[in-house]
Structure 1
Amino acid sequence: MSTLPDFEGWAIFAKVAQRGSFSRAAEELGLAKTTVSKAVARLEARMRTNLFQRTTRKLTLTESGRQSLARATRILSDGAAIEADIIEETVSPRGLVRLAALSAMGIEIIAPALPEFLERFPDIEVDLVLTDNQVDIVAEGFDAAVQLEGSGASTLRSTRLWTLRRPLVAAPSLIERLGMPQGPEDLTRYPAVVASHIPDAMEWTFAHQNDAGGAPHHAEPISVRVQPRYRANHADAMIPALVNGVGIGVIAEYFITPHLKDGRLIELLPEWSVPPRPIYLVTPPGRARPARVRVLLDFLQEKLAHEVLVNQERRQG
């Protein structure tokens, strides 16, 4: 057996696994399908095990294939990054970036910002996929994902981008009808508008805020289980119900800042806070990133930092 690993074979294997097809992998790599098939067969002969289970309709990884995928993906991404960094010395970053993002954030922040990015980098293409499910960035072939949780896999890289403040809000009409709550315990008597795609959406936990930097009034958080009157799996679909007094709700601040400013919504129990939700940027394993991916990630961090400042100024204003 050769002492030099079959780097080309492993890179081709990773691309086939990402695309779930020899034909699609060959098309993306600019190779003949037979070349791709032979590379995977060569690996399987070398490893003396199958990496894929093949049927006429479906291509799935075997256990050996699943165990190999993360490291094979690193070979593919590191090789692409090496070439991209060299090319970047003479030309601008170029190529396709596949980005997965939370639907709400993708619609409100990322999608509106992308035209500026594409104008700044005319040789880069972006494939933005919006989802409220946690994606497997390696298996699904994404360059990065913006999501609510960090990486559970030790081989992936997670960077905390932003923290979402989530105030408790209601329409003035609802408060006129039911009265102002005096503490979290009162919330059980109010109808609620909840985010159905968030785990434990009907149980809200509150911590008391410090008074002028002093000790909190309540050392222990208070959890309440609310009664949903309306559920939706997207923040934009929750806002009309909140504004029209259907119920109280906990929702990310950047969705409702204009409604708080014009008085269509008011913040309830401002001395209490629901734990903020961190937003993470997750990328595949390996230290090297292609230039096209690196500049997009830098751009997103810049935009998210700007959103934080804008929201702070709006609250103070």
Structure 2
Amino acid sequence: MDTYLSMKVFCQVVQSGSFTRAAELLGISIPMASKHVAHLEKTIQSQLLYRNNRHLKLTEQGEIYYRECVMALDILRQAENVVSAGTVKPSGILRVSLPLWFSCDIFANLIAEYRQQYPDVELILSLTNRRVDLNTDGEDLALRLSHQLPDNVIAKFLTRIPFYLVASPDYVARYGLPEHHEDLLKHEAILPSYTDLSQLVAQYQQQTVPLPMKGTLRSNNTQMIAALIRSGVGLGYMPAWLADVDLQAGRLIHILPDYQIEGVPLYVVYANRAFMNARTRSFIDFFAEKWKN
């Protein structure tokens, strides 16, 4: 039997003065209440109560055990209150894994807005292009960009992040502007080493066409790729979050703007759906709400 429940039944029997009243208050049968007390007596190998038809009385061992049970149950209730408070009001430490290039103003502004709403949540943001294992690496959540997630993860779709083909004005001045997707092979591309762009396609004139790129320079850091593109080393594939300001300021040129490249799905990935605390839920719901449209 459940010893914790048996302790609660025993304390209620003592406080009520009878098995009948205790059973009524706890919503169990009288025989079940008696079984719980008998379970404790068998466990500790001592009689806890003197029983007769009129009243109950604690034995000497029962008095000691009752005091200890009251203290133990009080400690457990306090622990339950502390934990349940964390499931109601978002608070405590939340560890989130992010792609490296999320170290940008757009995402920083979103985090600032989240912090205004949930100031009691202590965020620890870890930026990496490595696929962390939420069950072993200690992270609570991960934001992942992927066209296909593994079957064994729990994930919620948030939005699609647009990506563009871009180049600097200096690069275009020296090497010209590609006019068709076939022209891309004539240009030097700066490629990510953490993903395969060989299957990159776009929609053009109601057809799906490949966007072939070749290059002799690769990096595992999207921020480095963006810096190299801005410096005129080659053209490349950049997320809108990193490219938009430079496009508006004329520091980058949108290559093949009539070719529609499908945005990359962004998911929030988490390990446990059944016992999600309030801080985890607040983070997921905040970004789902921001990007619901």
Q: TM-score range by the shorter chain?
A: 0.5 to 0.7
**Residues 83 and 298 from structure 1, CA distance in 2 versus in 1: closer, same or farther, beyond 3 angstroms?**
farther
Q: 1:247 to 1:259 in 2, by over 3 A?
A: same
With over 3 angstroms needed to count, the CA separation of the structure-2 counterparts of 1:267 and 1:181, relative to structure 1, is same
CA distance in structure 1 between the aligned counterparts of 2:271 and 2:192, rounded to whole angstroms: 29
* Distance in 1 of aligned mates of 2:82 and 2:266: 28
Number of residue-to-residue matches in the alignment = 216
Rounded to whole Å, the distance in 1 between the matches of 2:149 and 2:211 is 27
In structure 2, the residue corresponding to 1:269 is in which secondary structure? coil
Shift of the alpha carbon at 1:280?
Answer: 0.7
Map of 2:142 onto structure 1: 145
2:161 to 156, 164, 186: 164
- Decide whether aligned partners of structure 1 residues 239 and 207 sit closer, same or farther in structure 2, where only a CA change above 3 A counts: closer
Please tell me the residue identity of whatever aligns with 1:301.
A
SS class of match (1:251): strand
- Name the stretch that deviates more: 165-174 or 246-255: 165-174
Look up the SS of the partner of 1:272 in the other structure: coil
**Is structure 2 residue 108 aligned with structure 1 residue 121?**
no
Task: Give the letter aligned to residue 277 of structure 1.
Answer: V
Matches within 5 A, 1:250-269: 250-269=237-256
Q: Distance in 1 between matches of 2:112 and 2:171?
A: 40
Q: Which runs of 5 or more residues in structure 1 are unaligned? A: 5-81, 211-215, 309-317
Separation in 2, partners of 1:197, 1:282: 19
1:233 matches 2:220? yes
Q: Using the aligned pairs only, state the percent identity.
A: 27
Q: In structure 1, the residue corresponding to 2:163 is in which secondary structure? A: coil
Q: Aligned-pair distance for 1:138?
A: 1.5
Instruction: State the Cα distance separating 1:173 from its structure 2 match.
Output: 2.3
CA radius of gyration, larger in: 2
Q: How far, CA to CA, are the matches of 2:258 and 2:171 in structure 1?
A: 20
The answer to whether the aligner puts 1:222 opposite 2:210 as a matched pair is yes
1:205 corresponds to which residue? 200
Residues 128-139 of structure 1 correspond to what in structure 2 (within 5 A)?
128-139=125-136
The match for 2:171 is 174
Residues 1-317 of structure 1: pairs in structure 2 closer than 5 A: 86-87=84-85, 92-149=89-146, 151-154=149-152, 156-198=153-195, 200-201=196-197, 203=198, 205-210=200-205, 216=206, 218=207, 220-224=208-212, 226-303=213-290
Report the secondary structure of 1:297's partner residue.
Answer: helix
AA partner of residue 173 (structure 2)? E
151 and 142 in structure 1: CA distance in 2 versus 1, 3 angstrom threshold: farther
Query: What is the Cα-based RMSD across aligned positions, in Å?
Result: 2.9
CA contact (8 A) 2:189 2:217 kept: yes
Distance 1:245 1:222, change over 3 A: same
Residue ranges of structure 2 left out of the alignment (5+ in a row)? 3-79
Please report how far the alpha carbon of residue 302 of structure 1 lies from its aligned counterpart in structure 2 after TM superposition. Answer: 4.1
